[in-house]
Chain A
Amino acid sequence: MKQQQTPTSEARAAGLTLRGIVKHFGPTRVLDGVDLDIRPGEFLTLVGPSGCGKSTLLRIIAGLEAQSAGSVTIGGRSVDALPPSERDVAMVFQSYALYPHMSVAANIASPLELRRLSLFERLPLLRWLSPRRPRVMREIMTEVRAMAGQLQLEGLLDRRPAQLSGGQRQRVALGRAMVRRPAAFLMDEPLSNLDAKLRVHMRTELAELHARLGATFVYVTHDQIEAMTMSDRVALMDKGRILQLGTPSELYDTPADVTVARFIGSPPINLLEVEASAGGVIRMAGLALRAPGPGRYTIGIRPEALHLGRAAPGLLAARLRRAENLGAEWLLHAETEEGAPLAIRMTAAEHAAADALIGQVLHLSASRAGVHLFGPDGRRVAVEAAVEAPA
């Protein structure tokens, strides 16, 4: 599968530009001024909690929904006035949206038929009058068979969608999108109807497909793991806005917003309320950080950045409530004196060495790289050269 080449694919990648996209449904504002530049050939994922407007944004790109304000450019061409079929994008739907009454072959052939045959040549009965049709259909079927070969659907071409497994339907939907070689693929949670195992497998397959086709992929998901594992870049959305756009590592290592920090990472980041002293110094879990000024902050500590230590002043004390053995790792759930929950992730070896018992008080230190500070507005706060003060 990996070796096969689609001849023209390199030339078929378009960049997408969104400027100030706003969408109202009645009084509710679903998209609130979205700007986004998607590079030609990149795998960009829109991720965010359910209802944040991802699908709406994707449907605006596709032309299935009209934006209330703003503009969409695909491959340098403004498409605001174009119907979906002329935007040179293909879409893979969550439900796959296969035509249930058509065979797999007819489903994959559908976009080509609609493009290469006139309405007259597609009408029942009348279509047999067209002298051109048999030749065009033969060409289409050749392409459909080639596509089926690429997607390992050869034996299934005569089946109806209802006779296919979820994974096979997914492939047919991909085939129908790929067969017309669009400049960009739009995918709305395409894996969410698959069982967990197949989902993991299809993740790899989609990533490979992207590499092979070289086309632009815009991928919508609410699953941060999908976003982190497949994408070149991730745009994290919340309440109709893009909070941060960056590579998966950028989002994980330097979250621009407490919402981003909370959304990315599993188990989620530990968030604690802290008070900075008059000099702006925050002492927490063995670290001393210098914030821009005094006041209340939220500090985020990744679970893997917390380490067990011996009782010492300045360390974060928390009572161990529960320990989960994940095999190679352990996940400890503890509670601070203030009652805030804490998750701590460690290797099995670390756990064995520490011998932490349920009910016991743990003394935790944090490593600097996994600690982030957020202001009252939720935005990331740059921590100035921290005063190293191991207590």
Chain B
Amino acid sequence: MTAPRQRAEARAGAAFALPAFALILALLLAPLAALLALSVTDYRLGAMAVRLVGLDNYAALFADEVFQRSLRNTFLYVAFVLPGAVFGGLGVALLVHARRRSRAFYEVAYFLPVTATLVAMATVWQFMLHPSLGPVSALLRALGFGDVDLLNDPSLALGTLALIGLWQVIGFNMVLFLAGLSAIPRDLYEAAALDGARSGPDRFLRVTWPMLGPTTMFVTITSTITAFKVFDTVVVLTRGGPLGSTETLLYVLYLEGFQYFRTGYAAAMTVVLLAFLVLLSILQARVIDRKVHYA
């Protein structure tokens, strides 16, 4: 390539990248720097004086019962959602993949919650779970569980939110698994059939499951991140209650940062959140690497 061409290319490249650079600076890097800076101050929105407090915010964070409870609740929520999201998504995908005429119907049915506005659907769920008016409560009564108020019972509320979370995410995972399934070469199943794989479990263990390995890892991580960020249903359905049993990380962060305006403290909390997410993303990058490795 000639020197003028190279220069023109470099100029064009820089010009095209400039807006993106500016946006990254303004919306990502600067806020992150500010965040780190805020997290070592006692800044409160509207306060006149700001003091450097070192790592006090972080220390307070790990002594804070509310924060600890929110961490516990969040992990519990993830633990509730994850198995169903991954194995449920896989199971549905396996069944749907084998359908022909009815495949479109099932795809739509399971995917509908993904596109629907969660806040609106949460109000529907609230009504469905209403102790006296809701059909779910009526069903539970009919099944002999007596009067249960799923959203107001401290031992059930988080699990109920998790089921709603599962309801929303399972179709998304199904679609990812379906894509993974269609990417498995038919040859492999045929080779397995000639090798002597006769039963469904054999085909699944020898071909499907290992070939879905990267997809499964990916789904696991994205589902973890999604579950980790549970927020909408908490706002609409429980506001952290009853008795703090559904206070989750993002909800507490929202309260601290934007309701109580304890900005410095919330900043420290955000840094911890970011640390978790970066960790998960590194895992995710590893997985994508391995997928490339397979092919």
Direct contact of A and B (CB under 8 A): yes
Cross-chain contact A85 with B194 (CB below 8 angstroms): yes
Cross-chain contact A85 with B295 (CB below 8 angstroms): no
Is B289's CB within 8 Å of the partner chain A?
no
- Of the candidates A59, A89, A97, A162, the one whose C-beta lies within 8 Å of that of B191 is A97
Cross-chain contact B205 with A85 (CB below 8 angstroms): no
Cross-chain contact A91 with B211 (CB below 8 angstroms): no
Number of chain B residues close to chain A: CB under 8 A: 24
Minimum CB–CB distance from B74 to chain A (whole Å) comes to 31
Distance between Cα atoms of A111 and B194 in the complex (Å): 8
Cross-chain contact A176 with B294 (CB below 8 angstroms): no
- Of the candidates B190, B199, B202, B213, the one whose C-beta lies within 8 Å of that of A97 is B190
Cross-chain contact B195 with A122 (CB below 8 angstroms): no
Q: Is the interface of B mostly helix, strand, loop or mixed?
A: helix
Cross-chain contact A99 with B206 (CB below 8 angstroms): yes
Instruction: Produce 1/0 per residue, A68-103, CB < 8 A to B.
Output: 000000000000000111000111010101111110
B135 / chain A contacts, CB cutoff of 8 Å: none
Is B287's CB within 8 Å of the partner chain A?
no
Cross-chain contact B188 with A99 (CB below 8 angstroms): yes
- Of the candidates B201, B205, B295, the one whose C-beta lies within 8 Å of that of A100 is B295
- Of the candidates B190, B206, B211, the one whose C-beta lies within 8 Å of that of A84 is B190
Cross-chain contact B196 with A114 (CB below 8 angstroms): yes
Instruction: Produce 1/0 per residue, B173-203, CB < 8 A to A.
Output: 0000000000001011011111111110110
Distance between Cα atoms of A47 and B218 in the complex (Å): 44
Is A197's CB within 8 Å of the partner chain B?
no
Are A85 and B210 CB-contacts (below 8 A) given A91-B191, A97-B187, A124-B205? Answer: no
Cross-chain contact A111 with B195 (CB below 8 angstroms): yes
Are A85 and B294 CB-contacts (below 8 A) given A95-B187, A99-B210, A123-B205? Answer: no
Cross-chain contact A84 with B294 (CB below 8 angstroms): no
Which single residue of chain A is at the shortest CB-CB distance from B293? A162
Which single residue of chain B is at the shortest CB-CB distance from A102? B210
Cross-chain contact A101 with B193 (CB below 8 angstroms): no
Cross-chain contact A91 with B190 (CB below 8 angstroms): yes
A110 / chain B contacts, CB cutoff of 8 Å: 192, 195, 206
Closest A-B pairs by Cβ, 7 of them: A114-B196, A97-B187, A97-B191, A111-B195, A85-B196, A101-B210, A84-B193
Given pairs A84-B193, A85-B194, 7 additional interface contacts (CB within 8 A): A97-B190, A100-B295, A102-B210, A110-B195, A111-B196, A162-B295, A176-B191
